[in-house]
């Protein structure tokens, strides 16, 4: 089976197969490809049939990749117990994000059922949901390998194996060394494997650990991971107690999201919360009308100046008006692209506005004279 088979005219033929056969065919697909197909299928019943045919593990992987609207549709269509099973298999950060995105009434109903059947997961969702969506706390997962400083390398390797087999952590890049709950060091898997088996973790751990506060903005998180070339960063509270880990796969999503917002701003559009096809007509109007009104007022000012200076007296000059306006617009687009990108990567800060204004006025003047 290919993802296109689920979105094409032969979908009903595939979905009419016995559930066991359908499950085998569906689980040949990558979860990302299956999620993309489900996001564009318009018939909710077909989406439900597909999700019910999947194993719990595959359902969780697909659910993590669905759009927020489609996630809500799926959770509403399946039985409450199945919804809890799917949520239990999801990564903690993805699970919390999903619950936060649900409509208020659906969220409360689901949380109430979670408190009755899986209180530990309900508490975890509540804890992660207390952090802002665009912060390190909102991005982090609470699944990580934590060991004591006195543990020897051989025992640490065995513990990593056990954690991996039990699927207690989604990704294992580092072992975090804790004294109580306080983060005191970190050991990479490479360093762990290359160290002598009888050495203690406190002898090989890196104590100068780059760490994040849970309130750190997601852009800064991405900058820190790129700056120090790390695969994950620990999140700690004010006392240095370990809270969770932000992994590089979540940061990639942040980079894509921030780049999309920057591109939309450069086009004079307020950033969209959802994808293009999932954004409503009225939302598009609201996001685009602001800058269009500003530009319209600017054009009215230009027309007023031209009228007052009576360009009709030299009619030949009117031929060059569109050329001059277009060139001015192109120059403005160049400036906005450069400045927005500089702001995004931290080369320019908002407090540098006066320096930027002076430079751009000078550059614009020289370009205009040229």
| Integer angstrom CA distances of residue 66 from 33, 129, 369 | 10, 19, 53
* Strand ranges in the chain using DSSP code E only, listed in sequence order: 145-147, 174-179, 182-188, 232-236, 242-247
- All structural domains of the chain, each given as residue ranges with its CATH number in brackets, are 3-130 (1.25.60.10), 145-247 (3.10.580.10), 260-369 (1.10.357.20)
The one-character DSSP state at 370 is: -
Distance CA 309, CA 315 (A): 12
pLDDT given at position 108: 87
pLDDT given at position 68: 79
Question: ∠ CA 117-118-119 to the nearest 5 degrees?
Answer: 110
3-state secondary structure of 9: coil
Any idea which residue has 């508490």 for tokens?
123
Please enumerate in sequence order all residues whose Cβ is within 8 A of that of 325, keeping only pairs 6 or more positions apart, or say none. Answer: 302
pLDDT given at position 1: 75
Of 82, 93, 40, the residue nearest 59 (C-alpha): 82
pLDDT given at position 293: 78
Please enumerate in sequence order all residues whose Cβ is within 8 A of that of 123, keeping only pairs 6 or more positions apart, or say none. Answer: none
pLDDT given at position 14: 82
pLDDT given at position 312: 60
pTM value? 0.65
Instruction: Please give the chain's pLDDT, 370 residues, in tens.
Output: 787 888 888 888 888 888 888 888 888 889 899 988 888 887 878 888 888 888 888 999 888 888 877 888 888 888 888 888 888 888 888 888 888 888 888 888 888 888 888 888 888 888 888 888 788 898 888 889 999 999 999 999 999 988 887 766 777 889 999 998 999 999 999 999 999 999 999 999 999 999 999 999 888 888 888 888 888 999 999 999 999 999 888 888 777 777 777 666 666 666 666 665 566 667 767 766 776 777 777 777 766 766 666 656 556 666 666 777 777 777 777 777 777 777 766 677 888 888 888 888 888 888 777 6
Q: Which residues of 324-352 are buried (b: 16+ CB within 10 A; e: fewer)?
A: eeeeeeeeeeebeebbeeebeeeebeeee
pLDDT given at position 16: 84
């Amino acid at each position: 089976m290919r993802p296109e088979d689920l979105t094409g005219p032969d979908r009903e033929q595939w979905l009419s197969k016995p559930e066991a056969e359908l499950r085998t065919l569906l689980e040949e697909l990558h979860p990302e490809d299956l999620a993309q197909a489900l996001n564009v299928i318009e018939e909710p019943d077909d989406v439900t049939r597909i999700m019910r045919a999947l194993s719990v593990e595959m359902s969780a992987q697909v659910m993590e990749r669905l759009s927020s609207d489609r996630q809500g549709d799926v959770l509403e269509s399946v039985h409450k117990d199945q919804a809890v099973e799917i949520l239990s298999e999801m990564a903690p950060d993805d699970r919390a994000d999903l619950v936060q995105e649900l409509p208020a009434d659906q969220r409360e109903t689901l949380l109430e059922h979670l408190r009755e059947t899986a209180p530990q997961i309900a508490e975890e969702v509540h804890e992660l949901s207390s952090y802002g969506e665009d912060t390190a706390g909102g991005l982090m997962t609470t699944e990580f390998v934590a060991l004591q400083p006195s543990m020897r390398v051989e025992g640490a390797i065995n513990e990593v194996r056990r954690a991996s087999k039990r699927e207690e952590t989604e990704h294992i890049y580092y072992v975090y060394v804790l004294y109580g709950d306080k983060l005191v060091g970190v050991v990479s898997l490479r360093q762990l494997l290359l160290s002598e088996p009888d050495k203690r973790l406190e002898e090989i751990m890196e104590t100068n650990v780059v760490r994040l506060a849970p309130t750190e903005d997601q852009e800064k998180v991405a900058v820190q991971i790129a700056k120090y070339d790390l695969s994950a960063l620990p999140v700690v509270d004010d006392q240095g107690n370990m809270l969770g880990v932000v992994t590089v796969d979540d940061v990639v999503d942040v980079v894509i999201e921030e780049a999309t917002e920057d591109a939309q701003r450069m086009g004079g559009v307020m950033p969209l919360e959802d994808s293009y096809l999932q954004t409503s007509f009225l939302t598009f109007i609201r996001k685009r009308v602001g800058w269009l009104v500003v530009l319209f007022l600017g054009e009215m000012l230009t027309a007023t100046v031209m009228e007052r200076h009576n360009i009709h007296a030299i009619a030949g000059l009117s031929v060059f008006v569109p050329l001059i306006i277009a060139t001015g617009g192109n120059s403005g687009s160049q400036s906005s692209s450069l400045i927005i990108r500089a702001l995004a990567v931290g080369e320019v800060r908002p407090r540098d506005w006066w320096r930027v204004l002076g430079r751009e006025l000078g550059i614009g003047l020289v370009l205009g004279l040229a």
